[in-house]
Amino acid sequence: MKYVINKYLILALSCIMIVSSCSNFLEEPDKSNFTKENYFTKPEHAESIINSIYENMRNVLGGGFNGGPWMMLEFSTGLANTELGQAQNSIFVRNLVNNSDNAYGQTYWTSHYKGIANANLAIEKIPGIKMDEVAKKKFLGEARFLRAMYYFDLVRIFGNIPLITSSIDLQSKDLYPEQSSIENVYKQIETDLLEAEKSGLPFRDPSGRVSMGAVKSLLASVYLTMAGFPLNKSEYFAKAAEKSLDVINSNQFSLFTSYDDLHIASRKNNGENIFQVQYLENILPSNWQTSIIPYNQGISNYTDETGAIFANKEFVESYEKGDKRAAEKQFYYSSYSLRSNRNQTKNLGGYYLYKHFDIIAQTSTTSSGLNWTLFRYPEVLLTYAEAANEAGGPSSLVLNAVNLIRKRAELPALEGLSKDELREAIWKERWYELSFENKTWYDMVRLRKAFNVFTKKFEPYVGHKFSYGPTLSEKELLFPIPTAEIRNNKKLKQNKGY
């Protein structure tokens, strides 16, 4: 596709008609006679362009017989498996033979730059709209958060990427932008999030829109990443601890008492769910349910049981003895009732993903309203624990943050650990608690560490051997820039090894 990056910047107005990200999903503006000159004149125009930015979060999710782009971040950990032989994009990543033609990577690049294009347009145009200034400030805070979030994914996945912060037309000198340094991308992400902190957003928002809790959670994650590879700015550990502690001290979020709440649609946007991609059954249903059930074993009311992704046996069985998360139908499931007879249970021969499983949709409606979670409170607790331990060593606050998570998992509290011992204990909790939420590969890259499921120890990323054979090399620290982008923008340089 010609003008792969910039076409989305030029035609960003076409995305304004996309559904809202909050509960009233299908409210649409009048789409007649849209132009950049006449569109950005009313308060409802401001809301519609903001809604269009949210829409692009959904594009990388999904499933079906071709798998889903989100899965590439799981197969790259060596902890996931598939029964779907035709999903070559998944298999290439899993076997560490990925290439720049992989459609998953192209989807991340395309959809995220679409979101950035709409965010750029919103940040440029909303200030000129006559409307309530408090509402205007909040909209701009949402736009800056979402732009930061898209760039945070892109810079971690692809490394040196174009940094575009204004809308571009066919006459622009930046029509074919050069790649920016990783550090400059992070500077822009930080700037956007610090501005979003000043926007007056509520600390949590039950509608699913960006909240102050989401802003500070993302900022804490950004700072934790900046403290690690490739920037290695250790002074950011203290900043990560500060921002995550802001979320903790707000008392707006708390752990669910049961893991069942993670996959109950009525618990969306509350409890420990800080920020989620929004879905609604029968209107805009979530579309990964067919991917997390075993291939054609007749347990689901969905007819297309694809077996696209499930957990490696060795990983699930590496959980600490007695860890409730590894118990049947907590984070994983290995048996389920049959569609033909719900009183009969079948052993499935593997560990499938229960934390994303919609029971009602699977056994009845085949339309799931589950949201996809981008930030949960346990991640904030673990980010605080890791960052504060690195900045100042073990403390009662650090231990309490980790032990809240371990207590729910019915594990004994950690105590009396040295800084080094606690560091690896916290990493292990991240691997186990945040599994299959698109977090683990990012952690592997920033730490340059991988988890050995046999020794239950962390070892260097480069040279780590997956339990099923392939060995990580330096090139797997990034994904390849998509072929179409390299072809259409001659200024782009491919990542090493691709």
Any domain includes 240: no
Reported confidence tier of residue 39, pLDDT bands at 50, 70, 90: confident
| Residue matched to tokens 């309490």 | 400
Peptide bond into 230 cis (omega under 30): yes
pLDDT value at position 170?
Answer: 77
Tokens of 208: 């699913």
Long-range pairs, 131-140, Cβ under 8 A, ≥24: 131/42, 131/43, 131/46, 132/43, 134/200, 135/43, 135/46, 136/46, 137/199, 137/200, 138/199, 138/200, 138/201, 139/46, 139/47, 139/50, 140/195, 140/199
- Is the pLDDT reported for residue 31 higher than 90? no
What is the count of structural domains for the chain? 1
Q: What is the pLDDT of residue 36?
A: 62
Q: What is the pLDDT of residue 342?
A: 97
Kindly state whether residue 64 falls inside one of the protein's structural domains.
yes
CA distance 240 to 225: 9
pLDDT at 182 over 80: yes
* Domain boundaries, position 28: 6-200+479-488
Residue 343 has phi, psi (to 5 degrees) of -90, -5
Residue 403 one-letter amino acid: N
pLDDT digits (tens, 9 = 90+) for 74-131: 999 999 999 999 899 999 999 999 999 999 999 999 999 999 999 999 999 999 999 9
Whether 97 is covered by a domain: the verdict is: yes
CA 348 – CA 163 distance, rounded (Å): 46
Q: Is 428 part of any domain?
A: no
Tens digit of pLDDT for each residue in 373-404? 999 999 999 999 999 999 999 999 999 999 99
**Does the pLDDT at position 186 exceed 60?**
yes
With pLDDT > 90 as the criterion, what percentage of the chain qualifies? 88
Confirm whether 192 is domain-assigned.
Answer: yes
Q: Is the pLDDT of residue 21 over 60?
A: no
Q: What is the pLDDT of residue 344?
A: 97
Q: How much is the pLDDT for 381? A: 99
Residue pLDDT, tens place only, 207-231: 999 999 999 999 999 999 999 999 9
Can you tell me the mean pLDDT for 355-381? 97
End-to-end CA separation in angstroms for the chain = 21
Q: Is 183 inside a domain boundary?
A: yes
* Distance from C-alpha of 408 to C-alpha of 123, rounded to nearest angstrom: 42
Q: What is the CATH number of the domain that holds 123?
A: 1.25.40.390
Return the percentage of the chain with pLDDT > 70, whole number: 93
Q: According to the model, what pLDDT value does residue 47 have? A: 95
